[in-house]
Amino acid sequence: MSGGRRRGASFYKLALQCNRSRSAASHAGLTVTDAKKFAIDEAMAAKNLEQLMERVRHWPRERQEDAAEILLEMERQDSSGYRLTDVQAEEVARIQLEIREGRATFATDEQMAALWKSCGL
């Protein structure tokens, strides 16, 4: 993040949703009908992406850097050998929902310090 700014949750949520959707499609067993729809969706996505990139060219430089940072991170994730199983992805989605609904609890700084200390870190 340039300048040490904090990104809003919706900023990262969008990036994660884009990455999750593409990954799900690539791992799905597609029927012929699904494959045709997927091809159409891909063409529409490419057109939408081209239109979006044209708009991004007119954004302030700092916002363009933010967009580039997200895309580069997504690219790094794609090259990673680590992949979540379906069960792990469902667990992440469940936890994200709990966070959005305010039902999740988080460890305090003191609790985390105690945890790291107990691990010898």
Q: What is the mean pLDDT of the chain?
A: 77
What is the distance between the alpha carbons of residues 25 and 72, in angstroms, rounded to a whole number? 20
6-13 contact pairs (CB < 8 A, 24+): 7/66, 11/66, 11/70, 13/96
Higher pLDDT: 23 or 76? It is 76
The pLDDT, as a whole number, for residue 47 is 84
Tokens 């609790």 belong to residue:
111
Predicted confidence at residue 83, as pLDDT, reads 83
With cut-offs at 50, 70 and 90, classify the pLDDT of residue 94.
very high
The rounded distance, in Å, linking the Cα atoms of 21 and 13 is: 12
d(CA 98, CA 92): 10
* Domain boundaries along the sequence of the chain: 2-30+60-118
- Per-residue pLDDT band for 112 (boundaries 50, 70, 90) equals very high
pLDDT class of 111 with cuts at 50, 70, 90: very high
Secondary structure percentages of the chain, helix, strand, coil, to 5 = 75, 0, 25
**pTM more than 0.85:** no
* 98, 104 contact by CB (below 8 A): yes
> pLDDT per residue over 13-64, tens digit each?
555 555 554 445 454 554 555 555 656 677 778 888 889 899 999 999 999 9
pLDDT at 75 over 70: yes
Across residues 71-82, what is the average pLDDT?
Answer: 86
